[in-house]
Structure 1
Amino acid sequence: MSEQTKPDEPVEAPAASAATEQVPDWLGARLKRMFTDVMDEPVPDEFKQLLKQLEDKERGA
């Protein structure tokens, strides 16, 4: 196994400068519009049923 693929090795975090980069205004506005549309969509009944099953299972545990 190579040095890069050892499972016991911790993964290094990205450089601090990459984590603090600002999202350009145009990109932020476009992402906000896109996800606002998604958030306005109704939740499918099948998904609600799955969430209820998960909640019931967690309460029983």
Structure 2
Amino acid sequence: MADEDAHRRWHESFLPSTLTDSGEPRLLRSFYRYGIYGFTARLTVAEHAVVAKKPGF
């Protein structure tokens, strides 16, 4: 469980905030399967452009 929490925090570190302007959680899913880390999040097109430039993304 600690590893899952650490991965979730790592994925959240890419996002501009943990909540959208309407108060919904940005991070929808954080996962690790078969050597692949991933997450799904609510982002605007402009926010995605910023996140996509972050090292490690």
Using the size of structure 1 for normalisation, the TM-score is 0.23
Which of 1 and 2 has higher RCO (CA within 8 Å, sep 6+)? 2
Q: If you compute each CA radius of gyration, which structure gives the higher value, 1 or 2?
A: 1
More strand by share: 2
Going by fraction, where is helix more abundant, 1 or 2? 1
